[in-house]
Amino acid sequence: MRVHRATAALMVCAGVALATVTMPASASAAAPSTSNRVAVIDCTGNAQQRPGTFMLACGDGNNVLTSLRWSQWQSGSAVARGTDMVNDCRPYCAAGHFHGYPVKVRLDNAQPRAGHSGKRHFTRVTLTYPAGRPADTPRVVTWKLWS
C-alpha cells in the first residue's frame, strides 16, 4: 500500500502499512445503508456509512479515530469531528501509550468500488488538527484510502 509522505509521522511504529479501514460503529451511530450512498471500507472489506470509529492503522491498531460525529455525509464528501487516538510507541508500540488529539476528518474523492456494481466509496481522507497533534505530524494530513 502506498501512503503519502505527510502521513508517515502518524505511524510511529512504521513497520505496518496504513490501510483504508473503519471499524463498525454502533447501530445508533451508523446511517441506514442504501444502495446509492457512498461508503468507506473497513478492515474486513465491509462498506460503512457514518462510522463512529475509523481505524487508520488496521495492521497494528496504533492509530484510530474515535467519537466521530458526522456533520455531513454526501456523495462528494463527508465531514466529522472526533478524536485521533495515536500510540506514541515509547519505548516500543506494545509498551506505548495512546494520546488523544481533537481532529476534523474529511472523506472525499468517491470512486466506483471494484466488484460492486453501482457502489462508490471514499478514497481519500484529510485530517486537520485544530490544536495539539502527534509528534512530527503536520497540522493538515491527507492520504489515499485503499479498499
Q: In this predicted model, what pLDDT tens digit does every residue of 50-62 receive, in sequence order?
A: 999 988 888 888 9
> pLDDT band at residue 25, thresholds of 50, 70 and 90?
very low
**Is the pLDDT higher at 48 or at 22?**
48
pLDDT tens-digit profile of 26-39? 333 444 444 458 99
Tell me the pTM.
0.75
> Would you state the pLDDT for residue 28?
36
Retrieve residue 147's grid coordinates.
479498499
